[in-house]
Structure 1
Amino acid sequence: MERTLGALAAHNHRRPFIALLCALVLCAVGLLCARNLTLNANLADLLPDSFKSVQAIKTQEERYGALGWVVVVGDDADPEQLQRFAQDLAPKLEALPGIRYVEITRPSRFFRDHALYFLSPEDLKEVERRIEARLTWERLHANPLFVSLEDDPAPSLDFSDLEKKYGGNAVTRLSNNPSEFYLDPAERRVVVLAKPETSSSDLTFSRKIVDEVQGVVKQQDLSKYGPGFHTEITGTFQKKLDLQSQITRDVAVASSVAGVLVLLYLFLHFRSMLAVGMVLAPVGAGLAWTYGLVGVAYGQVNILTAFLGAILGGLGVEHGIHLVGRYLSLRGEGMASEQATRESFTHTGGAALVSALVAALTFFVLGTSGLRAFREFGVIAGVGMLVIILAYVLVLPAVLGLVARHGWSPRRTSTETKEAPLGQIITRRRGLLTGVSVLIVAGLLTQMPGLRFDYKVSSLEDENLPSFVLDRAVNQLIGYTQMPLVVLTDSREEEAVVVKEIQARKQQLGADSKVDFVASLESLVPGEQARKQVILKDIGKLLERVPEGQLTAPQREELTELRHQVRAAPFSVADLPAGVRQQFEGRGENGTGFVVVYPSVDQSDGQAMRKLAKEVRGVMLPDGRPAVVAGESLVLADILDLVSHEAPYILLGSTLAVLVAMWITLGGLRTALLCLTPTVVSVFALLGLMPLMKLEFNYLNILVIPVLIGTTVDAGVHLITRLASPGSDFVRVYSETGKAICGGLLTSAVGFGALFLADHPGLNSIGALANLGFGMNLLVMLVTFPALLLVLSERKRRRRAVPPRPRGEHLVDDGQGPHRTTPAS
């Protein structure tokens, strides 16, 4: 393998124009294929299409339409002006072709008027009995001839027990606010809800409809609603666009900063712009080829693969530092350019190929994940590592051959290896450094029980974006979430079964239930209305006999409200307010088959969403089929379940894959274990350091661990490979290879560390954790591992130097060095 690499490099060195022409053609093809790549930050697309939650969302979008809203929020005006703004804006928004309907008022008045119809006949009889008992008591005590033999209290007219009984149902939740509009007088805020035709997962439509809504708002004369009046837009569609913009901005910033930092470090490392170009040219070509393959295979990048340019660039530069550094060193020793190229790619290139193969294999293990973001990241990163090595073999020797033809040769002073003072210290204090390192790592391992997993969805969606913050305020104003779950059914009978079952589960779980309320159109129309109307008329006759003169003002208001309620006529689905019907009707002529479940918990809490999913799933329909439940909350629950299930297997698989690959490529298990040691030590030290640094795992940054396993083994491979060369001197090898290892780890850290600049919390946490991991590995590689190697080497040398001694013989030192002696001598 090494000889083949050297021969290919020498061939390309001799024929640079052919090699560079091939590279340029491949770059042109790659860039052509990658020109239409788009970013997809949709949460549902993180899971494969085979997941039921993903299939359910697609079915829901086809039948029910969009779950979210485009929400226009008006702020800083008097309540009358806020209502006027909502009334003026609603018809103009409803006229937009992409808007199904607009909602500005609550159904509170309708449901309060018909509230008594939602009581059972038995409870209505109980209401009638209590009123009649109180009237009888009042009539008796008003008679001056009546003498009570017992001091009985007046019969109670407290109906709080009945209110509690019906307090959690949909009607109560939909009518619990006295305001007719979605308005908060204290906050001086009003909300206008516009329901689009298409789901927010279609970003092109989302951008179009939000722009149209903004256009309508800008056309309004907002000054007539007050001097400080202003508007903002939030809701599911605006949140998706803001998240997309944030990640796009983070990609641009992270990639730019990573490029500048790598360029700066390479210049400081080599002190030659030509050498910098030699390192970056193959990396640029490899990235162009890789993203061309991404364009052909996927056509888009996700929240993770969008940053692979910076990450692969940092990892790829590491190989260039080793290869160009070795070439310059050999040229400085007087070796010809072609021979130096062959030698560099034979040994250092062989180590780079082993490292790339191992890293690629680790990424491919990550590519077995069911989570689409991880799978695509693993496949693209694995292919990218191999492609970049191919680019180095094709491009770098050709560049070296081309500049050699034009008479360029490196300055001797730039390639002289100075003995690193740290190498001398490690040689003299190897035992002490090994012991101290063992104690430090052991101390960090004691902190591992403090490791935590952050179940908040903020790792996938930035909950601190202005539209997210405003959206939570809108939910509080409305009184329930704008993003419910939808249970898909095929008939009114199935709707009734689902509503009854979920209500029963909610009642059984009590305070542990994650459901706020559940409703369907039929559940909003009570049964036995004719029978209840007869009872209500009887109650009305009793209420007419109530003497108002003896009541307080609040009691008179309650009496007036109650008299109004008992006069309400029976109603059907057609009589429900349009705003209510529209929320439960899907696309097309058939509006049946939807049960809406409103969660009672924060939908950014992953653990709560897992419990919610368990509570609402598994409802059996009359024909024995399980009801299909759709919603982004269930996608989140599935993502968490998948990550929790796969993480141990991926970590174990990555470690075993690295070990087996190194065993095969390095030719021995002992050598493979030795090269893997610094990676294992640094990863465990990182896990112990995380609780001390207040870092937690989340849905995204957990992939850093297998990535560290795959990308940090090359440092050990390079060091062991160079030390195994005949006649190698530890201090000299450490000084030369240690510099390259340091540069390689730093550039790898730059690739991941650029994510530390991302505003997105999940991506930011990847950068922080990766930087900490690379920093820990750098300390282990520069101090702990070399000291351990020297200790092991010394013990091995002693065992070889001292043959087994006969019985009774022992070593003495009389000042002339240790030698064997016996008691007789």
Structure 2
Amino acid sequence: MSKFIRFFIPVVQLSNRRPYTVIAVALLLSIAAGFFASKLTVDTDIANLLPPSNENVQALEKLKETAGGETEMQVAIKSPDFDANVDMAEFLAEKSLDLYYPRYEDNFFSRAELRRETEVLQDNALYLATVQELIQIKDYLQDEIETAREEANPFFVDFSDDFEDEEEGEETDIGKFRESYDDLIPPEYATNSDSTVVMLTLYPTGPQSDIRYLEDMFEVYQDMLDEVDTASYHPEMEIKFGGRLKRHLDEFESIMNDVFNSFSLGISSVILLVMLYFFIKKYIHYRKGSKIGRKHSFWSHFIRMPVPVLVIGIPLLFSLMWTFGITYLQIEVLNTMTSVLFVILFGLGIDYGIHYYARYIEYRSMGRSVENSVLLAYDKTGAAIIVSALTTAAALFVLMFADFRGFSEFGFIAGMGILFALVAMLFVLPALLVIFEKWNWILTNRVGDDYVRSKGIHRYPYARSIVSVGLILSLIVLIFSGNLRFEYQFGNLEPTFEEYEQFREFTSGVDENGRRNPAYIIADTNDDVFEVLDSLRTRSDQNPETLIRDVEALQERFPPNDEMANEKLEHIAEVRQLLQNSFIRDQQDENLDLLRRGSQTREPLDEDIIPDFLKNRFMTQEGEIGRFVIIYPESGLSDGLKSIAFKDEVGEVELASGKTYHSASTSIVAATMLDLMRTESPYMVSATFLIVFLFIWFSFKNLRWALIALIPLIIGLLWLFGIMLLFGLKFNFYNLVVLPAVLGIGCDNGVHLAHRYRDEGQKSMWDVLSSTGQHITIGSFTTMMGFAGLLFTNHPGLQSIGIMAVVGIGMTLLSALTFLPAMVQFLEDKDWIH
């Protein structure tokens, strides 16, 4: 490592000789990188956290390309007068379609959906039934006829009441058809049970990824509503708009606000801490210096408090610009996890500057020249800084090998940020020191002859007790580590938006049904559609714990060829014949009335008579009936374990020919992401630890010292797990990304302390703590403050990152300041280290 350090000494000497040139080059590179960095945006779509090569992601993209990815905007009108609500909805539909967007040179909305023409579907309801449902309907009618015949017998005795409880809850032959009927043929208007709310659906012309478009659309729409006289329709009328499209915008804005707030809070606290620390440290050194050298007043030192922030902060800002400029060129967008890396890297990268600048001040206080102090600071701290930075960067780069892009992109950006911060602190910071010294902005004084170092006087107290207690606590955590849990509830990791929840409550009961979060398979041929249907239904029938509620395809309801259409018409004709049976012909019954009206079809239906609201739901963007197989889950998929189970059950379907289809839905993608991350995490953490260990071993060229340097990391992680067990904290797919980061970051403290102790020699641990111990404490605090900004965000997932990082880094610092010195003292007493 010493050869590696000396190799770059000419670059440091260049910073001494030509500081303005170095700063000018760094500034130009930062301006160019900053131009690209300013183009970065945040993508909140979780589907993009998986690699594009993932089969389920490709299936979802194909679904969007085939069926379209429109996300509608919903407008809810509420009052006790249903007719007034409809009149207002019709008025708003007309006004909405006239709203013009100059930026697109088009209207905001392409179409509106209000009244649903259902007469045609009601008259031809049985044509929408599947063949299986038609067979069940015929069985139902046969049973009704037989029952009516028996009841007409004067000697008939009905014993069915005795078994009523046993049959309760069983689905009748017509039950499945009635469920499909209610789903395919909804009420004329989208309304709730008491008809006090009417829903108007608007389809935007712009994509949901265009945030500026969404902001303008909602602003213009609110302005339009403000001008509407609702009281003229009904004095109690209320209008709300939004839905998932508004939630998407709120989520984006929330994340951006969180990023800005965490950035402001984190950086301001880091700056304040650095200013105070170096002001106190420098002033104490100054006062300890010779009386002749004390030429400057307290006020002169006070007004120079921002100087350390400038000396360390300017190179750090340069490195951040370089990092995010490269990020734009390589990735183009940030995701939810990487959106907060700016403030995190600020806290991480400043550590190297703190160590360098602090050692520089110490050498200047010893009377060394500016140039000599710069070179000595580089020589003495360079090894520890470079090892720390390379181990941290390597640990983060390991994440790049993960398929989960939450890991891989985090690793790439953070790893590059660490390397750029290292370069900036080792080669740009010295140039700033030379310039600021020329401008007399850094005030130092040579330490007086009466100042005696305490080396050899102190030993670390209570070493044996601290080691014993630390090992016992670590052993207890290991014993109970099996109780650590993973958070599988997606809802607990998403922010709650009050406006969206109010809208959901406002529209409660409108068009609600149990068929939610369906998955789709797009088949190549109609034959494949039916084979996929059969395969999935067989799985469902054979799995007692199936999560498949129902499977359907439009080809079953709208026959794709004349042969299948004629088969369906024959079944319908048989139903009509059964309905004419004398025993039930005049019987008044809701189900029979529905069947009488719906069995009028005598020839194949033309697609042109199918209402738009139904056609648009099932058609491709080209206006053709899509070969979609729709799979409805039995229950909600907010539980990650259920989501994974549903994905495992329906995610892949292989046909007899060997052709394989993959299911598409955001729930499937989320489950795949969770499953992938859960699978990759142990490998990522293990590989990270191995890389850290190898780097440290290479640095010390001694296995014993490598293990000593790793003590704060190992013990700190165990104590982190102990805190998690104590307070019931859980791992999740957000904070798991922090574990490899903590591995890389947490090793820094042990490396710096071990390197300094070896430089100073035996019986120097107390002196090492009084100098390097301060530096690692401030460095860890700045890193923790960088993450701590996430604690005040509205996003539970981002909050969990902050909690995990702050506690993890805090525990590695605590073990570095207590357990490591105690262990070194213990080994020193035993004469086991030299």
Instruction: Report the equivalent of 1:506.
Output: 540
1:218-229 alignment, distance < 5 Å: 220-229=228-237
Aligned partners of 1:349 and 1:572: how far apart in 2? 80
Q: Does 1:542 align with 2:582?
A: yes
Q: Does 1:79 align with 2:82?
A: yes
Q: Does 1:345 align with 2:348?
A: no
Q: Does 1:759 align with 2:759?
A: no
Distance of aligned partners of 1:228 and 1:483 in 2 relative to their CA distance in 1, 3 Å threshold: farther
Aligned letter for 1:702? L
CA contact (8 A) 1:100 1:196 kept: yes
Measured against aligned partners, the alpha-carbon deviations of 1:416-447 in whole angstroms (never above 9, x if no partner) come to 999999x9997231111111112222222233
2:759 partner SS: coil
Identity percentage over the alignment? 26
Aligned letter for 2:38? R
CA contact (8 A) 2:784 2:805 kept: yes
Given candidates 380, 398, 421, the residue that maps to 2:413 is 380
1:324-403 alignment, distance < 5 Å: 324-403=357-436
1:270-281 alignment, distance < 5 Å: 270-271=278-279, 272-281=305-314
RMSD: 3.7
CA contact (8 A) 1:332 1:416 kept: no
Q: Does 1:561 align with 2:605?
A: no
Measured against aligned partners, the alpha-carbon deviations of 1:684-714 in whole angstroms (never above 9, x if no partner) come to 2212321222211111110111101101111
Q: Does 1:26 align with 2:29?
A: yes
Instruction: Report the equivalent of 2:18.
Output: 15
Normalization by structure 1: what TM-score? 0.85
Instruction: Report the equivalent of 2:298.
Output: none
Rg (Cα) greater in structure: 1
Q: Does 1:193 align with 2:189?
A: no
CA contact (8 A) 2:15 2:427 kept: yes
Given candidates 346, 356, 362, the residue that maps to 1:313 is 346
Aligned partners of 1:625 and 1:39: how far apart in 2? 37
CA contact (8 A) 2:517 2:636 kept: no
Instruction: Report the equivalent of 1:578.
Output: 612
Measured against aligned partners, the alpha-carbon deviations of 1:150-171 in whole angstroms (never above 9, x if no partner) come to 8566999999899534534685
1:452 partner SS: coil
Instruction: Report the equivalent of 1:598.
Output: 632
Aligned letter for 1:561? D
Structure 1: segments with no counterpart, 5+ residues: 142-147, 548-555, 801-825
Instruction: Report the equivalent of 1:742.
Output: 777
Measured against aligned partners, the alpha-carbon deviations of 1:530-574 in whole angstroms (never above 9, x if no partner) come to 343344244235267658xxxxxxxx5648836854764456363
Aligned letter for 2:356? L
Distance of aligned partners of 1:458 and 1:330 in 2 relative to their CA distance in 1, 3 Å threshold: farther
Measured against aligned partners, the alpha-carbon deviations of 1:5-40 in whole angstroms (never above 9, x if no partner) come to 555334312322122222222222221222222222
Distance of aligned partners of 1:8 and 1:541 in 2 relative to their CA distance in 1, 3 Å threshold: same
Aligned partners of 1:199 and 1:542: how far apart in 2? 58
1:110-125 alignment, distance < 5 Å: 118=129, 123-125=136-138
Give the CA deviation at 1:348. 1.3
1:773-788 alignment, distance < 5 Å: 773-788=808-823
Given candidates 437, 440, 446, the residue that maps to 2:470 is 437
Give the CA deviation at 1:351. 0.9
Aligned partners of 1:680 and 1:695: how far apart in 2? 19
Aligned partners of 1:592 and 1:401: how far apart in 2? 70
Aligned letter for 2:421? I
Instruction: Report the equivalent of 1:450.
Output: 483
Q: Does 1:533 align with 2:573?
A: yes
Aligned partners of 2:468 and 2:49: how far apart in 1? 46
Instruction: Report the equivalent of 2:249.
Output: 241
Aligned partners of 1:131 and 1:164: how far apart in 2? 11
CA contact (8 A) 1:722 1:733 kept: yes
Aligned letter for 1:318? D
Aligned partners of 2:471 and 2:87: how far apart in 1? 72
Distance of aligned partners of 1:699 and 1:135 in 2 relative to their CA distance in 1, 3 Å threshold: closer
Instruction: Report the equivalent of 2:239.
Output: 231
Aligned letter for 1:743? I
Aligned partners of 1:724 and 1:114: how far apart in 2? 88
Measured against aligned partners, the alpha-carbon deviations of 1:133-156 in whole angstroms (never above 9, x if no partner) come to 454455553xxxxxx4x8566999
Measured against aligned partners, the alpha-carbon deviations of 1:602-625 in whole angstroms (never above 9, x if no partner) come to 243322222222232333457542
Give the CA deviation at 1:92. 5.2
2:377 partner SS: helix
Distance of aligned partners of 1:305 and 1:631 in 2 relative to their CA distance in 1, 3 Å threshold: same
Aligned partners of 1:617 and 1:605: how far apart in 2? 17
Aligned partners of 2:452 and 2:643: how far apart in 1? 58
Measured against aligned partners, the alpha-carbon deviations of 1:162-195 in whole angstroms (never above 9, x if no partner) come to 9534534685363499854221245943333334
Measured against aligned partners, the alpha-carbon deviations of 1:198-253 in whole angstroms (never above 9, x if no partner) come to 76456566556666765665664433443343333334433322221111111111
Aligned letter for 1:606? G
2:401 partner SS: coil
1:756 partner SS: helix
Structure 2: segments with no counterpart, 5+ residues: 100-106, 280-304, 560-564
Aligned letter for 1:59? K
Give the CA deviation at 1:666. 2.5
1:184 partner SS: coil
Aligned partners of 2:53 and 2:585: how far apart in 1? 66
Measured against aligned partners, the alpha-carbon deviations of 1:276-326 in whole angstroms (never above 9, x if no partner) come to 322212211111221222222222222222211111110111112211111
Aligned letter for 1:291? F
1:159-308 alignment, distance < 5 Å: 163-168=171-176, 172=180, 174-175=182-183, 179-185=187-193, 188-196=196-204, 200-201=208-209, 203=211, 220-271=228-279, 272-308=305-341
Distance of aligned partners of 1:204 and 1:583 in 2 relative to their CA distance in 1, 3 Å threshold: farther
Aligned partners of 1:392 and 1:86: how far apart in 2? 63
CA contact (8 A) 1:491 1:592 kept: no
Measured against aligned partners, the alpha-carbon deviations of 1:112-139 in whole angstroms (never above 9, x if no partner) come to 6656674766645544444444544555
CA contact (8 A) 2:745 2:809 kept: no
Distance of aligned partners of 1:540 and 1:719 in 2 relative to their CA distance in 1, 3 Å threshold: same
Aligned letter for 1:540? Q
2:580 partner SS: helix
Give the CA deviation at 1:463. 5.1
Aligned partners of 1:682 and 1:704: how far apart in 2? 14
Instruction: Report the equivalent of 2:289.
Output: none
Measured against aligned partners, the alpha-carbon deviations of 1:480-519 in whole angstroms (never above 9, x if no partner) come to 4565332212344433333343344334435632445534
CA contact (8 A) 1:99 1:197 kept: yes
2:624 partner SS: coil
Distance of aligned partners of 1:219 and 1:620 in 2 relative to their CA distance in 1, 3 Å threshold: farther
1:676-825 alignment, distance < 5 Å: 676-726=710-760, 729-796=764-831
1:661-680 alignment, distance < 5 Å: 661-680=695-714
Aligned partners of 2:458 and 2:235: how far apart in 1? 73
CA contact (8 A) 1:134 1:155 kept: no
2:573 partner SS: helix
Aligned partners of 2:610 and 2:583: how far apart in 1? 27
Q: Does 1:2 align with 2:5?
A: yes
Give the CA deviation at 1:263. 0.9
CA contact (8 A) 1:362 1:706 kept: yes
Aligned partners of 2:323 and 2:160: how far apart in 1? 84
Aligned partners of 1:133 and 1:433: how far apart in 2? 87
Distance of aligned partners of 1:721 and 1:139 in 2 relative to their CA distance in 1, 3 Å threshold: closer
Instruction: Report the equivalent of 1:634.
Output: 668
CA contact (8 A) 2:551 2:632 kept: yes
